[in-house]
Amino acid sequence: MSFVDIKNVRKSFANVEVLKGVTINVEKGEIVTIIGRSGSGKSTLLRCINGLESIDDGEIRINGEVVHDKATDLRRLREKVGIVFQQFNLFPHMTVEQNITLAPTLTKRVAKGEAARKLAHEVLSRVGLEQKIDAYPEQLSGGQQQRVAIARCLAMGPELMLFDEVTSALDPELVGEVLKVMEDLARQGMTMILVTHEMNFARNVASKIVFMHAGKVHEQGAPAALFANPATPELRNFISSTH
């Protein structure tokens, strides 16, 4: 069984079916990039993976554990599954350090005080922002905020990270610094599922690309092959529209 096993997942909002039977496998250490038009269900799928959304049919397993099983401790599961959003979602009333150490100290992963600050420092160094440890989110640029959001996830020691268009809200000149952090994570062997419109990044970093269309996996494969020889007109159109 794969590390992340998404099988035939269906999901509707009211009467509109957004996911119409999605099946994706992600192995440990893989970088899976989901691409597709706006409204094709990419965010919804990511939100289903960490249990933010319920599903109507099918199954999602992470490391064997069924996400939507009533018996599953979602909170414990989420400590292993980090998610980073387009809008950063940092807590405005907390400093960078507090943002990072809140969850680890509340869930008793690390003691308050020195140990917590050390953890904050350590994850901040992985995103190159040690010097901002005492700043408030509002005092940071969008790119810096997003890197703090990634550091906040890392502090939980996740085994899987989900990224939902994390560079889409950034000014163009700030996109690079965030992508670089993600590249570093990929190189360190983090398992990642990411939704992105950065085609170059997808091409260079992903181990697999999934093209979603109308609530289904329309096509998937290794980046080079997929971009060179799209099998369907929908993917061909999508690729040409992103240039």
Partner 1 sequence: MTLNFNQLWRYQDDFLHGIQMTLTLTLIATVAGMLIGLLGALLSNNRLPAVRLLIRSYVEVIRNTPALIQIFLIFFVLPYAGLRLPPFEAAAVALSIYMGAYSVEIFRSGLASIPRSQIEAGQCLGLTRFQVFRHVILLPALRNIYPSLTSQIILILLGSSLASQVSAEELFHTAAFVESRTYRSFEVYAVVCAIYFVMVLSLRLIFAGAERIAFRWPTRR
Ligand X SMILES: Nc1ncnc2c1ncn2[C@@H]1O[C@H](COP(=O)(O)OP(=O)(O)OP(=O)(O)O)[C@@H](O)[C@H]1O
Beta carbons of 219 and 226 less than 8 angstroms apart: yes
When asked if residue 33 is in the footprint of ligand X (CB under 6 A), the reply is no
Closest approach, Cβ 44 to Mg ion, in A, equals 8
Please state, in angstroms and as integers, the Cα–Cα distance from residue 99 to each residue in 6, 16, 74, 203, following that order: 31, 36, 21, 32
Region of 84-92, 110-118, 186-194, 224-232 interacting with partner 1 (CB under 8 A): 84-92
The span from the CA of 218 to the CA of 214, in Å, is: 8
Closest approach, Cβ 166 to partner 1, in A, equals 13
Please state, in angstroms and as integers, the Cα–Cα distance from residue 189 to each residue in 89, 123, 159, 192, 210, following that order: 25, 16, 10, 9, 20
Closest approach, Cβ 224 to Mg ion, in A, equals 25
CA torsion 64-68-72-78 (nearest 10°) is 80
When asked if residue 15 is in the footprint of ligand X (CB under 6 A), the reply is no
Region of 42-50, 55-63, 71-79, 113-121 interacting with ligand X (CB under 6 A): 42-50
DSSP reduced 3-state for 197:
coil
The span from the CA of 176 to the CA of 123, in Å, is: 19
Closest approach, Cβ 93 to partner 1, in A, equals 5
Q: Which of residues 17-76 bind Mg ion (CB under 5 A)?
A: 43
Pick one of Mg ion, ligand X, partner 1, none as the site partner of residue 78 (Cβ within 5 to 8 A by kind): partner 1
Size of the site for partner 1 (CB under 8 A): 25
Nearer Cβ to partner 1, position 156 or 186? Answer: 156
When asked if residue 106 is in the footprint of partner 1 (CB under 8 A), the reply is yes
206 secondary structure, DSSP code: -
Q: Which residues bind ligand X (CB under 6 A)?
A: 13, 18, 36, 38-44
